[in-house]
Amino acid sequence: MKTNLKSIFYLLIFFGAFACDTTDDAQPRVELEAILVADLAAPNDVIDRNTGEVEKVNPFQYFSLEQNAIVSETDDWDLAFKGTTIRTNSSKNVKAAIVSGIFEEINQVPTSATFATDSESTFAIPTGSGNGWYNYNSATFTVTPIPGRVILVKTTGGNYSKIEILSYYKGNPPADQIDPRATPSGHYTFRYVLQTDGSKNF
């Protein structure tokens, strides 16, 4: 009798473990594919370097992460690009945060990420060399993305996205081949992952 009870006990443990292994939690997570956006043209205003006078005002380019497309200002855009400035759609409560890490290794929104929206005086994605996504080299007059800086965005659809800016120059040239007098600037190449199920996982 003791032997039979012991055998039944071990069988229950075995089948219980098997049942746990077959739950949805044990299913492998589907890896989301990164989307590449190349040469999104959003040049800054044309400014006379001697006088500082604005000679030509260029428009912002409005981009929807949900649609992977440039849209109009009246549409549900997420980010607006112009020069080195990236705005968020505060009227639609789009939020952004800057985090440090390797793009591929950020598998979920970190609990330490501090999200913000644009205000009249500040940007959720800070401007200025070293403050947000880029560095400016005053010796070479070039703008380069800061390695290990990733932008997180909560979109108009309430979904989370991670973004890595790869280049600020047309054609995505290597940094040592950028000629600020000849290489068009304000042409963004970046990649992003969008989680469409509303979760914070990537």
At 143 the pLDDT is 97
* C-alpha 116: how far from chain center: 14
How big is the CA angle at 113 (ends 192 and 157), to the nearest 5 degrees? 50
Indicate whether 54 belongs to any domain. yes
Count of beta carbons in the 10 Å neighbourhood of residue 54: 12
Containing domain of residue 121, as a range?
A: 29-195
pLDDT tens-digit readout, 98-146: 999 999 999 999 999 999 999 999 999 999 999 999 999 999 999 999 9
Question: In the numeric block, which tokens belong to residue 61?
Answer: 């380019």
Number of domains in the chain: 1
Element (H, E) at 14: helix 2-21
pTM of the entire predicted model: 0.84
Q: Is 189 helix (H, G, I), strand (E, B) or coil?
A: strand
8, part of any domain: no
**Does residue 202 fall inside a structural domain?**
no
Residue 4 lies in a domain: no
In this structure, the number of other CB atoms found within 10 A of the CB of residue 173 comes to 13
Tell me whether residue 38 is in a domain. yes
